[in-house]
Amino acid sequence: MEQKKFDPVQFIGIVLIALIGTWWLYTSKPTPEELEAEKERQQQEQVETQTPQETTEAPKETYAVTDPQDSLAVSKLQTKLGAFAYGATLPSATDAETVLENDVLYLKVSNKGGQIVEARLKNYVTYDSIPVYLIKDKNSSFNINFGTTDNHTLNTDQLYFQPVKSTSGDAQVLSMRLKVSESKFLEYRYELKPGSYMADFTIRSQGLNDVINTSQKADLDWKMRTLRHAKSVTYENRYTRLTYEHDGGKHSKLGVGGQDDEEEKDVTWISYRQHFFSSILLTDTAFKTVKLTSEDLVEEESIEEKELKAYSSTIPLEFNGGELNYNMDWYFGPTDLKEMKKYDRGIQESIPFGWGLFGWINKYFFTPLFGFLSQYLPYGIAIIVMTILVKILLSFVQYKQYVSQAKMKVLKPEIAALNEKYKDDAMKRQQETMKLYSKAGASPMAGCLPSLLQIPVFYALFMFFPAAFALRQKGFLWADDLSSYDTIAELPFNIPFYGDHVSLFPILASIAIFIYMLMTTGQQMQTSQPGMPNMKFLIYISPLLMLVFFNNYASGLSLYYFVSNLITIFIMLVIKNYIIDEDKIHAQIEENKKKPKKQNKFQRKMQEMMEQAEQQQKAKGKK
């Protein structure tokens, strides 16, 4: 039975229906004014249906007294906090902050909660020249929830710690103590060394075995809403992801879109990656269980979007002898392979280089190669030189591919004759075609195998450029940032999937891909078999997809595709005009036909199966 041919008209119709449906959904969305009006209406309905008690907002508890001599205030705190009321009567029971900093990192720690309330990277700025903050304006919280022996349930982020800043050698040290008395306390200890993005962090308790109820669990909750730093919020969000190390060195991640959650065992670090920057909590003693969640906050490409994802980790802490004792670290720094490897903790595995072989190629080949080239060349030129080197290394593969295509082109008249001779007998036609291929030493699959060898390299490079920290805010020609899209024109409106701007590098790459596919796909269609799909539409679809979807991608990636396809076109022209002689190939094929062709075991088995199938078909025809 003949295979059904691909119908391009039907395909285009499906695509047009999908596009019309997408456009209808997009244009049918309510306007911001309508959404705001609906929101106000729902809020009004909620207020009208609530009781007076529900609409009355309770005053927030401060867990502090302004005057320690106020016995009534102290008595109320003792009722609420029990033994921990002592710390709330100290002079440090205010929202004052203490600074730890070195030449690369600035940290601000609040007395309230003893937690980091500001983390700024000194050597980096955002796309609009604002300093890069990982923690700011209460986008992060760090809290331990625990019960006490006097039947209180407390949260450390609402309690006041007493700060003591000192030095240890050339490091700055900050001890934050939540006190029951001078000898009984819960301590957060921070230590920041010069030139380091990683701060030592210790959680320990002293003398609290009779104060904290160890029969109940103490949960550490770390939450963060990651902040926007790049020009395209959707592109940046695509590479913003929660990753973690667990079970003795395994590395996993939560989903990049929507909501996702996971519960893991033996977790040794948790990374709240925000594309080119990361906030990572590491522990020397593996957390036995951790519940991790991630929620996507980005709805569409908009300058108003300021946050990317909401992360949270819930970690039950283990008591040892009735006390807490965890040696940990905080990393606030660039998601950069070279920088992360300095700490020898495996946190570089959070960089999205790709899985398996692809990640290996990026970490051990492309990253060192590009790092070497960029030491001596401008970053755009380094991309071009690296692309040339890669194409030279793969040129033998392209040569094999083109030789296979040339053989198929030479055999085209004979294949056409077989198709005509056995046009009513598909089985016989297939058998004779395979015999011709075997005698001539040609195969339609021979051109596919070299292409498969290139896939790991192509995919690795596709993952390399978005993860290459070195490209961040490095310009080339009209592109002011090779890690983001280039812009030659701003549009007064937004085109779905395309954006509100025109990028030139994707246009150049699309043109180069179109020319390349005319040279290759066109030739393949000339030698294609009856019944095989008509692939002509790929010549137009592939460049169009490149033009649309890469408009918001890193310009460095589009530059690579543009240069890569130009070099491929050049190599093909050289091979065709100066290396391959089709007359010699034809003569070689004729010589191969004269030689007895010894079949291997697989070929003999295939021929036997085809002959059996032919006999069964003839037997059915006689009935």
pLDDT of 616: 63
What would the two tokens of residue 552 be? 């918001």
- Among 121, 106, 120, 104, smallest CA distance to 195 is for 104
Distance CA 86, CA 180 (A): 5
pLDDT at 584: 63
CB atoms within 10 A of CB 557: 25
Helix 395-410 × helix 582-594 angle, to 10°: 70
Q: Nearest 5°: CA angle at 285, between 293 and 176?
A: 85
Q: What is the pLDDT of residue 34?
A: 47
Beta pairing class for 499-502 and 131-135: unpaired
Candidate CATH numbers 2.60.40.420, 3.40.980.10, 3.30.530.20, 2.70.98.90; the one for domain 83-352: 2.70.98.90
Cβ atoms of residues 393 and 399 within 8 Å = no
401 burial (CB, 10 Å; 0-12 / 13-18 / 19+) is: buried
| Model pLDDT, residue 490 | 82
Distances (CA, A) of 210 to 105, 145, 213: 38, 17, 7
The torsion angles phi and psi of 309, rounded to 5 degrees, stand at: -140, 155
DSSP 157: G
Helix, strand, or coil here: 172? strand
Helix (H) or strand (E) holding 271: strand 259-274
Tokens 């041919």 appear where?
A: 5
Which residues of the chain are under the pLDDT cut of 70?
Answer: 1-75, 77-78, 398, 401-411, 418, 423-425, 431-433, 435-453, 520-538, 579-623
* Segment holding 188, helix H or strand E: strand 184-192
**Residue 437: closest CA among 417, 422, 421, 415:** 415
CB 243 within 8 A of CB 309: no
Q: What is the pTM (predicted TM-score) of this model?
A: 0.76
State both tokens at 378. Answer: 């401008």
CA distances from 169 to 102, 107, 109, 163, 589 (A): 14, 19, 21, 19, 79
What is the per-residue pLDDT for 552?
A: 84
Instruction: Return the biggest CA–CA distance within the chain.
Output: 112
Strand pairing report for 250-253 and 105-110: unpaired
Residue the block writes with tokens 């977790």: 267
Please give the pLDDT value at position 351.
92
- Which pLDDT value is given to residue 408? 67
* Domain residue ranges of the chain, discontinuous segments joined by +: 83-352, 360-594
Whether 225 and 305 have beta carbons less than 8 Å apart is answered as no
Q: Which amino acid is at 553?
A: Y
Q: How many CA atoms lie within 13 A of 385 on its CB side?
A: 14
Residue pair 236/308 in contact by the 8 Å Cβ criterion: yes
Contacts of 84 (CB under 8 A, 6+ apart): 148, 152, 154, 159, 178, 179, 180, 211
Closest CA to 581 of 451, 421, 448, 402: 402
Q: Residue 99: left (phi > 0), alpha (psi -120 to 50), or beta? A: beta
Cβ contacts of residue 155 below 8 Å, gap of 6+? Answer: 143, 144, 145
